[in-house]
């Protein structure tokens, strides 16, 4: 039986989820971890809008760019072993890449590589047969490259290359190293790198997009719009909110990286921004959101209908993950922007 104060918290969190769904979201799934307590998992709304099947805590989500944190962890493990240097350039791995001699590994992780972003131009319904080389070729062919080391310019392409550096140095796919060294030890049994690992697709919550021009129009199902192989190390993570919260809690508690490398992940905090979000800074695989006086470190992920916020509050030690299976392509539209207020309220109710 839950403690009386936990019963109250669960009731309050349930209200947040119900109100979030009532605002128009198809379904929402929350996991919360407070130090010394068992994780809480709550859901509201539907996993499948057509059938009305309710969301359950074990439904999977494509948590997209939350994968970037784990790709950065793998890179920093190589730094710890002295095999690479964050200030080293990437030309040794990618000699044919334009300006590779100017792009440093830290630029890949802090979105300052200047490499073009490509996600929005990925053809809808593409076959799930993309390779990292094909992704980079597509990005360079369809977008403009900027000078490395400049201002924040979000780049999935940079993280695809970071994953290839790990694979080259380890002699095995990034996904295999993460499963053995991170996901296994953190007991994340419901987590997969969906671009090159099989996972139980029947457990995926359906995905929905609010992109119709008519006000109040129902969302379109977008479950098959984006291939996971088409984003790879930058965002092919498939997991449950509970698993992801467990992983972030282990990471920020110092159980995944040693303290020096964890500091490298989190700092320096460089200016970063996304329209429709409360993001103010980034580290090397971590984004910082500020909600008034509440500062949360973690990452967001959005992939054609699945939207995830994952974060940790350092002072209280609280970790939370909130996933929804509907979103707007426009991050400033209500279908996406509304998740940030709900996420902040979860932390405040939990005692952050």
pLDDT in tens, 211-266: 877 777 889 999 999 999 999 999 999 999 999 999 999 999 999 999 999 999 99
Both 99 and 227 in one domain: the answer is no
- Mean pLDDT, the chain, whole residue set: 96
Has residue 242 been placed in a domain?
A: yes
Contact of 222 with 305, CB cutoff 8 Å: yes
Q: In this structure, is the dihedral angle defined by the CA atoms of residues 106, 64, 289 and 151, taken in order, positive or negative?
A: positive
Q: Quick one: what percent of the chain has pLDDT higher than 90?
A: 93
Q: Is residue 184 part of a domain?
A: no
For the record, the structure tokens of 30 come out as 């929350």
Digit-coded pLDDT (tens) for 292-347:
999 999 999 999 999 999 999 999 999 999 999 999 988 899 899 999 999 999 99
The domain of 161 spans 70-170
Q: How many residues does the chain have?
A: 352
Strand partners, 311: 298, 320
CB atoms within 10 A of CB 15: 13
Number of domains in the chain: 2
Q: How confident is the model at residue 1 (pLDDT cuts 50, 70, 90)?
A: very low
> Residue 271's domain is classified under what CATH number?
3.40.710.10
pLDDT (0 to 100) of residue 3: 61
Q: Are 249 and 102 in the same domain?
A: no
* Same domain as 91, residue 48: no
| Mean pLDDT, range 51-60, rounded to an integer | 98
**CA pair distance 323, 300, nearest whole angstrom:** 10
Same domain, 160 and 282: no
The mean pLDDT of 183-211, rounded to a whole number, is 97
Query: Does 179 map to a domain?
Result: no
Domain contains 290: yes
Among candidate residues 142, 170, 198, the one where a domain is terminated: 170
pLDDT at 41 over 70: yes
Give me the mean pLDDT over the 54-82 stretch.
98
Residue 275 lies in a domain: yes
Q: Is 30 part of any domain? A: yes
Q: What's the Cα-to-Cα distance from 290 to each of 117, 277, 293, 335, rounded to whole Å?
A: 25, 9, 7, 20
Do 109 and 24 lie in one domain? The reply is: no
* 126 shares its domain with 229: no
Q: Measure the CA–CA gap between 338 and 347, rounded to whole angstroms.
A: 15
Q: Is 17 inside a domain boundary? A: yes
* The pLDDT of residue 211: 84
Last residue of a domain, one of 124, 141, 170: 170
* Domain shared by 204 and 230, yes or no: yes
Residue 175 lies in a domain: no
From 123, 138, 170, give the residue that closes a domain.
Answer: 170
| Percent of all residues in the chain with a pLDDT value above 70, rounded to a whole number | 98
299, containing H or E segment: strand 294-303
> Does 288 score more than 50 pLDDT?
yes
Band (pLDDT 50/70/90 cuts) for residue 4 is low
Q: How far apart are CA 107 and CA 112, in angstroms?
A: 5
């Amino acid at each position: 039986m839950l403690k009386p104060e936990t019963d109250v918290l669960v009731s309050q969190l349930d209200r947040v989820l119900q109100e979030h769904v009532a605002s128009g979201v198809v379904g929402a799934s929350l996991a919360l971890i407070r130090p010394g307590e068992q994780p809480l998992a709550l859901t509201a709304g539907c996993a499948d809008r057509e059938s009305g099947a309710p969301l359950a805590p074990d439904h999977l989500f494509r948590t997209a760019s939350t994968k970037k944190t784990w790709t950065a962890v793998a890179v920093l493990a190589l730094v710890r072993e002295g095999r690479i240097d964050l200030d080293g350039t990437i030309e040794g791995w990618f000699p044919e890449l334009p300006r590779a001699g100017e792009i440093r590994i830290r630029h890949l992780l802090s979105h300052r590589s200047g490499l073009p972003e490509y996600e929005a131009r990925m053809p809808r319904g593409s076959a799930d047969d993309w390779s990292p080389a094909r992704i980079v070729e597509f990005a360079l062919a369809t977008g403009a490259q900027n000078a490395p080391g400049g201002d924040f310019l979000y780049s999935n392409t940079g993280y695809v290359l970071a994953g290839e550096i790990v694979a080259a140095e380890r002699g095995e796919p990034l996904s295999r190293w993460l499963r053995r060294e991170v996901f296994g030890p953190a007991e994340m049994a419901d987590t997969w790198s969906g671009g090159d690992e099989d996972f139980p697709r029947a457990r995926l919550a359906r995905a929905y997009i609010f992109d119709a021009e008519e006000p109040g129009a129902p969302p379109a199902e977008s479950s098959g719009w984006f291939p996971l192989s088409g984003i790879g190390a930058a965002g092919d993570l498939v997991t449950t909110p509970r698993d992801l919260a467990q992983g972030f809690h282990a990471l920020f508690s110092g159980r995944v990286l040693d303290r020096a490398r964890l500091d490298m992940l989190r700092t320096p905090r460089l200016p970063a921004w996304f329209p429709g979000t409360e993001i103010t800074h980034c580290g090397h695989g971590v984004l910082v959101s500020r909600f008034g006086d509440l500062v949360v470190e973690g990452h967001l992920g959005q992939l054609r209908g699945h939207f995830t916020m994952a974060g940790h509050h350092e002072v209280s030690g609280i970790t939370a993950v909130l996933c929804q299976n509907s979103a707007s392509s426009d991050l400033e539209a209500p279908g996406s922007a509304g998740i940030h207020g709900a996420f902040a309220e979860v932390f405040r109710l939990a005692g952050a």
